[in-house]
Chain A
Amino acid sequence: MLEFLQYLVLGLLVGGVYALVASGLSLVFGVMRIINIAHGAFLILGAFLTYTLWSGPGIDPLLSILIVAPATFALGWALYKVTIEPVRTAPMASTVLLTFGLALVIEATMGVIWGNNATSIRPPYGSDSFSIGSFYMPKAQVFGGLVAIAVLVALGLVLTRTWLGRAIRASAANPTGAELVGIKVSSVSALVFGLGTAAACTGGAIVGILYSFVPGTHYTWIARLLAVVVLGGLGSLNGAILGAILFGLAETFTSAYVSAAWATAFPYLIVFAVLLIRPQGLLGARQREDASAL
């Protein structure tokens, strides 16, 4: 029972990290109708940046978010302007390929800069645990999960309480309508892509203290993240969060009680099952396709 409780908390904390990263992916899809395959690569990029800040100047990985997030926001904004804006109206299948290409280029760049050896970040609290009796909880997981949830809440406040947030939601709901009332959708899209990138890289900073990584790890991550957003419903932010928590729990329990090796197959099975049984996901809505896009 205690063991079960331990996995439950662990799953929720991991789910919080997934939720943060997946919300960025979902936001980008919601506004631009682009499935950003490079999102996993951004996550690993965030981990490597955090590693550099930690191993060089010795900045605490969780504090380094204050540097990583703004820097990668700018990076995402610029990448959007250069690569995605020219094909904003292209069919979704083309933009998927474009972001896939972007993912490969980022992977190669990380390989050139940081090499292909397994890298990990070990802050002082990295191997400590909180313990209450025989209930153990690694400090890195607790801090990481809590920071992720805090950043996610901040993102939520931006989306619901600011003019930018309203502009983002308006652009997602109806781009043409948003243009008509004076929102420049392409500018909003660039900002959203920046936000999405920053969310992925912030998640990467946290992931870096939990697991070791190489540039190629991004495939595993994009698979997980796609499973999460597909499960929750593409484009639905609440869906992404719900999907992330369910996924975090399911993954933790599978690797604990079934088998760690086959747990890697888990995200793919989820993608299959969801897209077959309920293609719109848990909280997604089906859109009317016979009338104009409203």
Chain B
Amino acid sequence: MTSSPAHSSPAPPAGATRATGLASRWSDPRLLGRAVITIAALALMAFPLLSDDAYYQNMIILSLVFAIAASGLNIIMGYAGYVSLGQGAFIGLGGYTIGVLATRIEGPSPWVWVPVAGVVTMIVAIGLGLVSLRSSGASFVIITVAFLFLTSVIAINWKSLTNGTSGLTLPLPSWDDDIMNWPFYYALVLILALQIGLSWWIRRTKLGMGLIAIRGDETKAATIGINLPVDKIIGFAASSIFVGMAGAVYGYYLTFIDPRGMFGILLSVQVVLSVLIGGSGTLWGPVVGAFMIEPLNEIANNNFGGGNVRLYLFGGLLMLIVIWLPRGVLPAIEGLWERRRTAGRAGLVGARVDTTGSLSGLAISDRVAPSGVDDARPLLRLDGLSKRFGGIQAVDDCTFDVVAGSITGLIGPNGSGKTTVFNLIDNTIVPDRGEITFDGERIERLPSWSRAHRGLGRTFQITRLFGDMTVLENVVAPQRSFSWTQLGHIAVSGREARMAEDLLDFVGMRAFRDQKARALSYGQQKLVELAQILMLDPKLILLDEPAGGINPVLIERMAEMIRELNSHGTTFLIVEHNMPFVLDLCPRVHVLSRGSTMASGTPAEIRSDPAVIDAYLGDDFDVETEGEGAR
């Protein structure tokens, strides 16, 4: 056979194109998924009209409640990565809100209290969200468990409000017996639709992008301009408001509310299980999961007497899923599909880094102008900056300037506090005292994201990319300003996507745009991280060991890129141990020793400074031999 591969052969006849087009359309999982969803939604809508089987109606009503709770939890757990065992409490809060109000205030229909329950629940959830600002990972899970138990203790003990363990009985529904469950059923379908709509909308906005960055690496997210508290608080609000409403409908449906039923831990477990089994972070996974778990729960309760069997079911499933199916059912199916589709195509990860593009075609910067080194104007000034870790004074009264338009080096022995200085400058660590002035403005009290918005970009010594995201997603993740309306903008606009591609082109990584960042080599990650912070359009870039651990050709290229960016007006502050690289690149160098600046000057001055030679470079230091020998 001499024929070339199909994709490069001349255009096939029209009929063939249509045939393959149709076939590929049916094998497109998204389209198939949409068809399945439409059918499922129609079946759900039609069910009460077609069947009056109370058993199944009840099962679907409960499934709807859990689907809403799971879809809500997915915003905070799936997108933002905060696993919460307190989600069941939001159902309970909704139930108690309607219970307390409907038994106290006679007159209006209990339906009036459903939206109120949503708002009450949301307010409590925002409180829990405020707690999350100071804790993460496992401590957050503990907090949510504590939160759930606390709500339960309050419901039991605040008898004057909740009637304690005896519970509250709501007025019976007033409508006709024939349609008994319809209002509950369709109200929940409506709330579920709203919840899914909200989840879908968040996922495609800047807010969703921020939440997913938070899941990947929260500290890093802050340094690329993502406003953590705002994103998280909105996330918490969005994850609870409809759940509170669903809880109210659920409470009205049960007509009886008590602490056991409303704040039981198994309620929360069921919600978390639904999210996990369906697929955390996916739009439909939690809903599918809820409709899988609730029937199992019903069977355990009705056919096996509940109790211990239910515990075995939930406990066993929880363990099995974490061990065997951590990503959930939907992503697993999608993964299989994807693997079959792409079978045989080689990965790109081993490919070479492209030659870098040029900046001239890029209009990356609209706020820095090429002005050359301006000695009169320091862009960044540290004054008396200090930080102590326990018994170690990591940074001690550190004072230096970075002149606007310069490439400034920061060198010093290991442990002299260079990275800590970087961490202080971008607020990854809070200084004990001292001032940081950036572009004429004091910034030492500003959070990381505000500093990023003012034009401060920073790479990390050990690269910190979002491993689960593709290279392109990593580069578009930064947010260069903050406004409330902007949170609702589409996650990646066409302009931003083009800019990101240009930047990837510039660092020579365009061919890798669809690879997961995790799959890249260390040197490639350094290049992507540089492109990522360029997206912030920074005035000052802090590079932490840009030449560490990468090959000489790449080091050379890194230097070229830094010079090119600098010629367009970007200022650099570079921490690096590769002396030929620093002394060659930086017209101005600060030497750090024991946390304070021991010398500043031109490379020539530094090289001949006896104190620096003694503390760092060593007697036998010689740039020429160092450059040839070590590299």
Contact = CB atoms under 8 A, between A and B. Distances in A.
Contact of A105 (B146, B319, B323, B462): B319
Interface in A173-213: none
Interface residues of B, number: 49
A93 B138 contact: yes
Given A261-B156, A265-B150, 15 more contacts: A93-B83, A98-B319, A102-B315, A104-B269, A104-B314, A108-B311, A109-B308, A234-B139, A268-B147, A275-B134, A275-B139, A289-B219, A291-B419, A291-B462, A292-B462
Q: Interface SS of chain A: helix, strand, loop or mixed?
A: helix
A105 B157 contact: no
Contacts of A35: 138, 141-142
B358 interface: no
Q: Interface SS of chain B: helix, strand, loop or mixed?
A: helix
A105 to B, nearest CB: 4
A268 B146 contact: yes
Q: Which of A111, A227, A290 has the most CB of B within 10 A?
A: A290
Interface in A267-291: 267-269, 271-272, 275-276, 279, 285, 289-291
Interface stretch (A55-63, A64-72, A83-91, A149-157): A83-91
Contacts of B272: 97
A104 B312 CA distance: 7
B423 A105 contact: no
B423 to A, nearest CB: 6
Given A268-B150, A276-B134, A111 B308 contact: yes
Q: Which of B145, B157, B462 has the most CB of A within 10 A?
A: B145
B322 to A, nearest CB: 4
Interface of A: 35, 83, 86-87, 90-98, 100-109, 111-112, 116, 219, 223, 226-227, 230, 234, 261-262, 264-265, 267-269, 271-272, 275-276, 279, 285, 289-292
A284 to B, nearest CB: 11
B307 interface: yes
Contacts of B309: 108
B276 interface: yes
A213 to B, nearest CB: 16
Contacts of B219: 289-290
Nearest to B422: A290
Given A90-B326, A103-B315, A219-B265, A272 B143 contact: yes
Contact of A108 (B81, B131, B154, B315): B315
Contacts of B318: 97-98, 100-101, 104
B428 A290 contact: yes
A265 B147 CA distance: 10
B552 interface: no
12 contacts: A94-B83, A98-B318, A104-B269, A104-B315, A105-B315, A108-B309, A108-B312, A234-B138, A262-B157, A271-B146, A275-B142, A276-B135
Contacts of A292: 462
Given A96-B83, A107-B315, A268-B153, A290 B461 contact: yes
B143 A279 contact: no
Nearest to A271: B146
A271 B419 CA distance: 33
B111 interface: no
A96 B141 contact: yes
Given A92-B138, A291-B462, A101 B315 contact: yes
Nearest to B130: A276
Contacts of B317: 101
B137 interface: yes
B322 A108 contact: no
Nearest to A229: B142
A97 B142 CA distance: 11
A289 B137 CA distance: 14
Contact of B149 (A90, A219, A234): A219
Nearest to A100: B318
Contacts of B153: 262, 264-265, 268
Contacts of B315: 100-108
A111 B135 contact: no
Contacts of A104: 269, 311-312, 314-315, 318
Contacts of B81: 93
B132 to A, nearest CB: 10
B323 A290 contact: no
Given A101-B316, A104-B318, A226 B142 contact: yes
A238 B105 CA distance: 54
Interface string B118-142: 0000000000000100110111111
Contacts of A95: 322
A35 B141 CA distance: 10
